[in-house]
Structure 1
Amino acid sequence: MISIGNTVPDVTCEAYLPDGRIEAVSLAHYRGKWLVLFFWPLDFTFVCPTEIRAYSDLSHDFDVSGAVLLGASVDSAHAHRAWVRQGLGAVRFPMLGDVSRALAQGFGVLAESGVAVRATFIINPEGRVVSVAANDLNVGRSARETLRLLHALQSGELTACEWQPGEAFVAAA
């Protein structure tokens, strides 16, 4: 798995966009911006929609925080579109289709089963990974915690456990 401090691989994928279009999206396009990239195993599953809904519900908060939110699975952008239209409902961030598995392999999150593990990466404007979290396939993650981590990392300060934006920072001795 890609580690803290590693540079993000320059991978291009087709993406299903919130406006319904499908187009190529390159990770290099987001240099100079904070980026939150999260992987889910497969479309049309049980835990994945709970995470995607949670991230979509907070997409405005990520945007206001100056971060681009991207989601990805090994399904195609066309499968993402079908899932949105057949029950998932509107999603407010680009959904990357990684049928070649180049993105999942580049981030080191491809499981032996051929799907991506539940992994979340926060990437700074220089294109370096500053946070990595991964779960087994059966355990969902917290979009709110990802947003809290983004704010803490953007602050550049020492932040305590359970720190929330607006709270005091830890004073260095």
Structure 2
Amino acid sequence: HHDWINTPRKQGGLGPMKIPLPSDLTHQISKDYGVYLEDQGHTLRGLFIIDDKGILRQITMNDLPVGRSVDETLRLVQAFQYTDKHGEVCPAGWKPGSDTIIPDPPGKLKYFDKLN
């Protein structure tokens, strides 16, 4: 990770970070989260969104040739925060400012009626 942080973004690195980037030198975290491939000696691309209460909200695992989307991760975090605050349902592809679903039969029908 040290080299990744010290490599500029224009060269495929992360550049300077304002948050810590943990390292898993013993692979214990990777094993605990089920992304370590023992026979290959490396991990799948795992992303785990854990809220401030320690509740796992999202798991995404990709094979090595496919990267993860920062935009999708931010969208998911915003959706979880919105649903926690408002008690509404964020449909697939929801973005801040988009319509949500009121979680009762009339509210749900109102949302789907508006779509069609």
Is the TM-score greater than 0.5? Answer: yes
Aligned partner of 2:31 among 76, 81, 105: 105
Between the aligned partners of 2:7 and 2:91, the Cα distance in structure 1 is 42
Aligned to 1:163: 94
- Say yes or no: does 1:115 pair with 2:42: yes
Structure 1: 5+ residue runs without aligned partners? 1-79
In 1: Cα distance, 2:75 partner to 2:7 partner = 32
Paired residues, number: 94
More strand by share: 1
Q: CA deviation at 1:86?
A: 5.0
Q: Percent identity?
A: 34
Instruction: Give, in whole Å, the separation in 1 of the partners of 2:33 and 2:65.
Output: 20
Q: After the TM superposition, which residues 9-158 of structure 1 pair with which residues of structure 2 at under 5 Å, given as runs?
A: 80-85=1-6, 88=13, 89-112=15-38, 113-156=40-83, 157-158=88-89
- Consecutive unaligned residues of structure 2, counting only runs of 5 or more, are 106-116
Note the aligned Cα RMSD (angstroms).
1.7
Greater helix fraction, Structure 1 or Structure 2 = 2
| One-letter code aligned to 2:32 | G
* 3-state SS in 1 of match to 2:43: coil
SS at match of 1:158: coil
Higher relative contact order (CA 8 A, sep 6+): 1
User: Cα deviations across residues 43-62 of structure 1 (Å, max 9, x unaligned)?
Assistant: xxxxxxxxxxxxxxxxxxxx
1:50-86 Cα shifts (integer Å, max 9, x gaps): xxxxxxxxxxxxxxxxxxxxxxxxxxxxxx2244335
